Amino acid sequence: MAYQGKTALITGGISGIGKNVAVALQEQGATVLLADINENASLLKGLNESRADSAFYYKVDVTDWDQQVGLFKFAIEKLKRVDYVFANAGIVETTFLAYTSPTQVEFTKPDLRTIDVNLVGALYTSNLAAQVFRTQEVVDGFRGKIILTGSVASFSAIPHMPLYTASKHAIAGVVRSLAPQLGAENITVNAVCPNVTRTALVPQEVFDIFESQGTITPNETVTNVFHTFLGESKVNGALKSMIARLHEDISLRARMLLSQAK
């Protein structure tokens, strides 16, 4: 098996992209730690029934530094060595510009949770991963590998989604800036940047609209791209996209549904 004896910590590992990556790695021999604010007992049970003690769960709010420190301490205790860290936890757009009336006299504070989860959370995860990796011996050429989840929004702006776009643009900058420094320490940093993928975060009607526009990236395709950064791969500082741009003509219905998804 490709990842026999390897370990992986995956934030947002209970559903969507994180879950798919966790299952794929576990099936190929890795021990996985699923970190998420939500729980999925059946997923954990199923993984451990197929191979005992191959999957662990840790409840964490990635926007909280102390909780992430607890997560990495748990990882060291349970996994001993951490080979791969996936900074994957994310949410969709929150309200940046609230609708106001001409007579409004009070200011409305924007909801910046998208930045907190998608960017601050990913920075905390990447920072802690680097600190752990620096304490580890080089094995098969590496101390460890950090893989972030970007988006097609890492390259192009998504209309009416400024916070999500900003967070994913920032992920691209983090990878490009951090990779040379950590690469010199036998640590790689890369990002997978898919187009729209089906997750539980958004009403399925939205995905039906995007699929009709040809902008859905199959989950299997996304998972396969993650594999290209693992194992013996020496790739560092890369942003791998599946589709070069998002369809610019997002329908009004899709925009409304995305703005309502929390």
User: Which pLDDT score is estimated for 210?
Assistant: 65
User: Which pLDDT score is estimated for 246?
Assistant: 44
User: CATH number for the domain including 30?
Assistant: 3.40.50.720
Q: pTM for the complete prediction?
A: 0.88
Q: Which parts of the chain have pLDDT scores under 70?
A: 196-217, 242-262
User: Which pLDDT score is estimated for 126?
Assistant: 98
C-alpha distances (whole Å) from 83 to each of 32, 145, 171, 224 are 10, 6, 21, 18
Is 182 within a domain?
A: yes
Identify which of 108, 81, 89, 88 has the alpha carbon closest to the alpha carbon of residue 97: 108
Number of domain units in the chain: 1
Is 132 within a domain?
A: yes
Q: Which of 3, 57, 58, 164 is catalytic?
A: 164
Is 60 within a domain?
A: yes
**Residues 161 and 170 sit within 8 Å (Cβ to Cβ):** no
Is 2 within a domain?
A: no
The yes-or-no answer on residue 3 being catalytic is no
Domain coverage including residue 85: 7-260
What span, in angstroms and rounded, lies between the C-alpha atoms of 71 and 60? Answer: 7
User: Which pLDDT score is estimated for 129?
Assistant: 98
The beta-strand segments (E) located in the chain are 7-11, 31-36, 55-59, 84-87, 144-149, 187-193, 239-241
Is 1 within a domain?
A: no
Identify which of 186, 179, 99 has the alpha carbon closest to the alpha carbon of residue 142: 186
Is 155 within a domain?
A: yes
What span, in angstroms and rounded, lies between the C-alpha atoms of 156 and 219? Answer: 21
What span, in angstroms and rounded, lies between the C-alpha atoms of 241 and 253? Answer: 26
Is 208 within a domain?
A: yes
Is 27 within a domain?
A: yes
User: Which pLDDT score is estimated for 215?
Assistant: 64
User: Which pLDDT score is estimated for 201?
Assistant: 62
* Count of residues making up the chain: 262
